[in-house]
């Protein structure tokens, strides 16, 4: 949890700025706030970090995905290709936008593959929601070629991959819109928060209105603002934005330390026969928030998890059995268990969600164990962890040989 490792005086200063004004609302109250605009500063800092023309902060990474979809024009009845390995919010956002998720295969980047996308395309496909998983990035050259070939809309969920890039372009900026998460577990946190980014002025203005009941935010009298579109309330507070602002300034330092630790871990664990790692299309663009280990098969990975637990190794995820990141456990989506009817029930699911076959995804996630990287590790702490990991993995490999 990189961002939370470095809470300090900077975060306190930004929060106190807000508390001293008493204005926790991100809009208006110009005289009272004494020129303190933390949400605006937060957005500007994120835009500067990733190289976006526009950034718009909202309440969470989940609502940032929903804003990104809406601002890209994705809505009722649209078929959207999604990954079966992602935090479930990505798929939820598609459903609550009124669209229909179509699941496609991933590859060893842990993201949707161009081959998987191609096989999932139908005449009804309108968009791809590409999720950059575990701090890395997808194979963007192949995917962008496919987007152009089929004239599809690309929206990027880089919730886990802020500060990652591919050939110099930040994740989130290849599509019409993109977004990042600033929840408690990300490279930078606002406690709760998210940011939508885009290089399109039109998309930015739509997101700005959509996330605040349609307000156009022109003038300083909220009661007299126009409403160009229908929207809802996804506003971030000034307090959350204040934390996000201080945290975003820390990201270059965190990314550097993450990469140093990850290289050490890959070098040491890579010496073990049978250990490989998830594909990183551009190693220079890795945010390195996770070390993503691939073992020879699911049985070995499951045994390694047992060994990690037995030997006191913490800080890892075995996504194959994870309840909220992998399709195998999403019975509520497969079976249409909803509080209120969605377009999936009204129009019919575009796939048989219960009987889908995604063999490459199943094989990849079955072999995958991801370790969260701490930027604050000392050399001694990292060496101790690596010794335990190495012993555990080698024991698992022997037992499943």
Task: State how far the alpha carbon of 382 is from the alpha carbons of 22, 266, 376, in Å.
Answer: 43, 12, 10
Q: Residue 206, by phi and psi: left (phi above 0), alpha (psi -120 to 50) or beta?
A: alpha
Within 197-237, residue ranges assigned H as helices are 201-210
Cβ–Cβ under 8 Å, residues 10 and 249? yes
Q: Return left, alpha or beta for 163; rule: phi > 0 is left, psi -120 to 50 is alpha, else beta.
A: left
H/E element, 296: none
Task: Report the catalytic residues.
Answer: 186
Strand, coil or helix: 101:
strand
d(CA 38, CA 50): 18
CA distance 190 to 208: 19
Cα(29)–Cα(275) distance, integer angstroms: 57
Query: How many CA atoms within 13 Å lie on the side-chain side of 193?
Result: 29
């Amino acid at each position: 949890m990189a961002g939370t490792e470095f809470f300090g005086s900077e975060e306190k200063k930004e929060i106190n700025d807000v508390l001293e004004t008493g204005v926790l609302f991100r809009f208006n109250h110009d005289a009272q706030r004494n020129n303190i605009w933390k949400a605006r500063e937060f957005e500007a800092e994120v835009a500067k970090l990733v190289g976006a023309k526009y950034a718009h902060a909202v309440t969470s990474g989940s609502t940032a995905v929903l804003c990104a979809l809406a601002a890209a024009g994705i809505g009722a009845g649209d078929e959207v290709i999604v990954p079966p390995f992602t935090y479930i919010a990505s798929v939820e956002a598609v459903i609550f936008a009124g669209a229909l998720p179509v699941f496609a295969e991933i590859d060893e980047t842990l993201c949707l593959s161009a081959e998987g996308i191609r096989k999932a395309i139908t005449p009804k496909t309108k968009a791809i929601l590409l999720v950059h998983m575990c701090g890395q990035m997808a194979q963007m050259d192949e995917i962008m070629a496919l987007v152009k070939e089929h004239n599809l809309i690309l929206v990027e969920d880089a919730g886990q991959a802020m500060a990652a890039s591919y050939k110099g372009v930040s994740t989130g900026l290849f599509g019409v819109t993109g977004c990042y998460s600033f929840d408690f577990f990300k490279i930078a946190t606002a406690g709760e928060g998210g940011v939508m980014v885009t290089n399109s002025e039109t998309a930015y203005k739509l997101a700005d209105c959509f996330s605040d009941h349609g307000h156009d935010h022109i003038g300083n009298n909220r009661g007299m603002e126009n409403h160009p579109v229908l929207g809802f309330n996804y506003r971030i507070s000034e307090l959350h934005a204040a934390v996000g602002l201080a945290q975003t300034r820390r990201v270059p330092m965190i990314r550097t330390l993450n990469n140093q630790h990850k290289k050490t871990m890959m070098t040491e664990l890579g010496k073990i026969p049978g250990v490989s790692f998830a594909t990183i299309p551009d190693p220079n663009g890795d945010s390195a928030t996770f070390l993503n280990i691939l073992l020879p098969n699911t049985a070995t990975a499951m045994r390694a998890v047992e060994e990690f637990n037995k030997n006191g190794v913490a800080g890892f995820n075995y996504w194959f059995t994870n309840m909220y990141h992998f399709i195998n456990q999403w019975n509520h989506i497969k079976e249409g268990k909803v509080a209120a009817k969605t377009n999936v029930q009204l129009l019919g699911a575009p796939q048989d969600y219960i009987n889908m076959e995604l063999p490459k995804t199943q094989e990849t996630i079955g072999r995958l164990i991801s370790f969260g990287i701490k930027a604050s590790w000392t050399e001694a702490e990292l060496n101790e962890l690596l010794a335990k990991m190495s012993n555990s993995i080698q024991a698992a490999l022997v037992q499943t040989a």
